[in-house]
Amino acid sequence: MKQALLLAGLTLGVSCGRPSVQPTNRGDLQLSLDGGTPTQEVTYDFGAVPLGQTRSLVVTATNVGKDTLTLTRLTLEGSDTGAFFVRGELGDVLPNASTTATVTFGPVRSGSQATRLIFEHDADAPRPAANLSGSGQ
């Protein structure tokens, strides 16, 4: 219950009862490639891929935190996002559990191309990212 007190033209708010508590989510999503140690950021180079062909990579996202988190979106950022495609399941990731995302590189032109894959979630921890690059030939 909140009450207001008017005193000499000033309004003071007074809270009665329990203070509001902001919930925290101690989930912590970290990434790994090929069974490596989970970390906040990974980097992978697809190498040279002929135009018209593709190469894929599986990125594992593990919740190393204490609470369940919800993976809400997989986002590609950067100027070459059209050369990269991502597929993965969204939803709850329990502590010590993992989910995967498959990234496919299909170059749209010759030369270097790069993107950043962001794993967006509802936990208080930073959003992990995969820095991806490849070259079209």
Residue 23, pLDDT score: 74
Distance between CA atoms of residues 68 and 25, nearest Å: 8
Residue 2, pLDDT score: 47
Q: Nearest 5°: phi and psi at 82?
A: -70, -15
Confidence of residue 14 (pLDDT cuts 50, 70, 90): low
Confidence of residue 22 (pLDDT cuts 50, 70, 90): low
Q: Which residue has the tokens 């809400």?
A: 72
Structural domain boundaries in the chain:
22-136
Residue 1, pLDDT score: 47
pLDDT in tens, 33-62: 998 999 999 999 999 999 999 999 999 999
CATH annotation of 22-136 = 2.60.40.10
**Is residue 3 helix, strand or coil?**
strand
- Token output for 1: 């219950």
7, pLDDT greater than 60: no
Distance between CA atoms of residues 130 and 137, nearest Å: 23
Confidence of residue 20 (pLDDT cuts 50, 70, 90): low
Q: Which of 69, 82, 74 is nearest to 58 (CA)?
A: 74
> Of 98 and 19, which is predicted with more confidence?
98
70, pLDDT greater than 60: yes
Residue 69, pLDDT score: 97
Q: Say what the pTM is.
A: 0.81
Distance between CA atoms of residues 64 and 95, nearest Å: 6
